[in-house]
Structure 1
Amino acid sequence: MSGKFPRTQPAAWRPELCDASEKAPNFCGINELVRDSASFQNSTQVKKHSLGFIGAGKLAGSVIRGLLLKNFCEPGAIVASEPNTETRTRLQNELGISFATANTEVVEKAEIVFLGVKPQMVLPVLRELGGTFADKLAVSFAAGIRIAQMEAVTPARIMRVLTNTPSAIGHAASAFAGGSRTTDQDREKIRAMFSAIGLAVQVDDEQMDAVTALAGSGPAFVYAMIEALARGGVKMGLTKQSALRLAAQTALGASDLMITSEKSPDDLIKMVVTPGGTTAAGLRVLDERGIADAIADAVKAATERGQEMARENK
């Protein structure tokens, strides 16, 4: 859109494009990228404690919740280590997963080990565990730590997954990348797992900083936009509760329509706009304030920060 929002006559409304029961439209190949988790569940039995999490904080906890919500595995298939007592107690009580007393126990029990620690702790944890990771698949959630950096300090097969907190409700946007030791089966297992809790796409490791900015940080940018919409509603007389609910539902509906439609964002905007109408007036203000460029610049800034983190952790 070149930083501008179109203000032209809306295109003809075609309701059949939004009826998922009549056809399975494919916006930007999304339907081809979303895979059913059955491919992993049917071909590889999910054994007790086959999934391990070193660190079970906000992001890792969201992934665990999503996997259980979507019945990808049973609570007994997950073992985790987490230093925060409050977090351990909450997840044990709410989800029924088990916790190990040491990271080595997680690696010993799990077939796939997810690293949910802070970026600056990824390499130290891998070094600490050393040879215990031999013949294991280790998957890092961390921003800014390259696969090559991790492969240099561990014998594990390394992958990266960048995902986001909506994974907790099965609406994650995830990207995964494999390393020099990962197998096709490794990649398909990870694709199946993260397709079970949302959208999963395969990218190159070099693209992960952009994924971190767009999908990882993206929910915060969307929340900021929702809050701004609601604040505008409050200024115009709505209660805060009503404004927030309306703004959030509007964002949800618009996103769902785009995903299930064959139309581009430009086309969908045109469907809402009437020349000289209310939407056109609002979009004109967004253009004048450079909102579209500001959002794109936010993604750029977050991407560049990820690149800086990679250099800092060499």
Structure 2
Amino acid sequence: KAEIVLLGVKPQMVLPVLRGLGVALTDKLVVSFAAGIRIAQMEVVTPARIMRVLTNTPSAIGRAASAFASGPRATDQDREKIRRMFGAIGLVVEVDDEQIDAVTALAGSGPAFVYAMIEALARGGEKMGLNKQVSLQLAAQTALGATEMMITSGKSPEELIKMVVTPGGTTAAGLRVMEERSVAAAVADAVEAATKRGQEMARENL
């Protein structure tokens, strides 16, 4: 009787599960959370309308970054339902199916990348003599405050950086080291690597 079926199985199980459900999915909207399984692949084995959704672990506290893609059978009403459903737990955007791999890397894997940056900030504080717990608390709150300031102000990261930096000051010295060590490039490369892995998974499941 359900109008929407949420499919949360491992990628290699998606197509077998859809085949097994067969005509029971006629006139149903199936929402898949699996990485690497394209909408076109799913539509071959089921009569259902198909959408894909990627969300992330901050959904547990209502701060998700989610994206959805819809297949040709999906309706405007389907899209609106998904917007409302995932909008209730945070930000939700619409993308093309082929962009889900990039979303998986940026938003899905992104929390781990952010945690790694927070941990690195905290280690820097420890190195300079701060207590481990205090250093971690300050690093986490700094990341939270900076993120909320960017979202609420509408300013770009570049504009906000300029608001913090004083020529010849402490922030400028730290940013210079980050540039020398190519920190920004490394983070961008991490997103690229995660995206490519998602694309590999899609090919493996053809």
Q: Which range, TM-score by smaller chain?
A: over 0.9
CA displacement, residues 234-278 of structure 1 (integer Å, 9 cap, x when unaligned): 111112211111111111111111111121110000111111111
Give, in angstroms, the shift of residue 294 of structure 1: 0.4
Aligned to 1:217: 109
Aligned to 2:55: 163
CA displacement, residues 156-210 of structure 1 (integer Å, 9 cap, x when unaligned): 1100011101011110001111111111100000001111110011111111111
Aligned partner (choices 128, 136, 141) of residue 236 of structure 1: 128
Aligned to 1:150: 42
Aligned partner (choices 29, 41, 47) of residue 137 of structure 1: 29
Structure 1: distance between partners of 2:160 and 2:173: 17
Aligned to 1:25: none
Letter in 1 for 2:55: T
Give, in angstroms, the shift of residue 290 of structure 1: 0.3
List aligned pairs for 1:100-139, cutoff 5 A. Answer: 109-139=1-31
Letter in 1 for 2:46: T
Indicate yes or no: 2:160 matched with 1:268. yes
List aligned pairs for 1:6-85, cutoff 5 A. Answer: none
Tell me the SS of whatever aligns to 1:175.
strand
Aligned partner (choices 174, 182, 187) of residue 282 of structure 1: 174
Structure 2: distance between partners of 1:262 and 1:169: 23
Structure 1: distance between partners of 2:16 and 2:181: 45
Higher relative contact order (CA 8 A, sep 6+): 1
CA displacement, residues 84-119 of structure 1 (integer Å, 9 cap, x when unaligned): xxxxxxxxxxxxxxxxxxxxxxxxx53211111111
Tell me the SS of whatever aligns to 2:35.
coil
* Structure 1 residues not aligned, in runs of 5+: 1-108
Give, in angstroms, the shift of residue 132 of structure 1: 1.4
Q: How many residues align?
A: 206
CA RMSD of aligned residues (A): 0.9
Percent sequence identity over aligned pairs:
82
Aligned to 1:247: 139
Aligned to 1:308: 200
TM superposition outliers: structure 1 runs of 4+ over 3 Å: none
Structure 1: distance between partners of 2:68 and 2:161: 31
Normalising by structure 2, what TM-score? 0.97
* Structure 2 residues not aligned, in runs of 5+: none
Q: Which has the higher helix share?
A: 2
